[in-house]
Amino acid sequence: MINGNKNKVRGDEAEEFAAKYLSKSGYKIIERNYRFGRNETDIIAEDDTYIIFVEVKARRRTESLSRFGRPAAAVTYDKRQRLLSSARGYLSTHVTSKRPRLDVIELYINTDGTISKGNTEIKHIKNAFGA
């Protein structure tokens, strides 16, 4: 379970890094780790036009990239369905005139697993699933 705890901490750090990136990019963070039933959205944010539901995925810059592919590749069909369900749940209980969008934020981190401004590359994939 120690490894699971380590992954949870790293996941929380990745989500914090992504939230800061979104804030600096002009988005307002509305919710973090929003749960609707058994489904969760890492970050819900908005700008003048969109309300975005964001899945954050991180990968080390090592052989894991060649072995597992880009971080967004970890967002499987089932995970997309859970993200969509969570977004629908949020929108059913929160009135907004903004257009919904599903995004993925990929983080490429150093081999030691640390996440910081100096060693982490970020890629924001807007409308990641064309939904």
Report the predicted TM-score, pTM, of the whole model to 2 decimal places: 0.83
DSSP state letter for 4: H
Quick one: how many helices (H) and strands (E) in the chain?
A: 3, 5
Instruction: Provide the pLDDT confidence category of residue 126 given band limits of 50, 70 and 90.
Output: very high
| Domains of the chain with CATH codes | 2-125 (3.40.1350.10)
Q: What's the pLDDT score for residue 72?
A: 60
Q: What's the pLDDT score for residue 10?
A: 67
Q: What's the pLDDT score for residue 11?
A: 73
In tens, the pLDDT along 81-104 reads 888 999 999 999 999 999 999 999
**Chain-centre distance of CA 98, in angstroms?**
19
In tens, the pLDDT along 35-81 reads 999 899 999 999 999 999 999 988 776 655 455 556 566 667 888 88
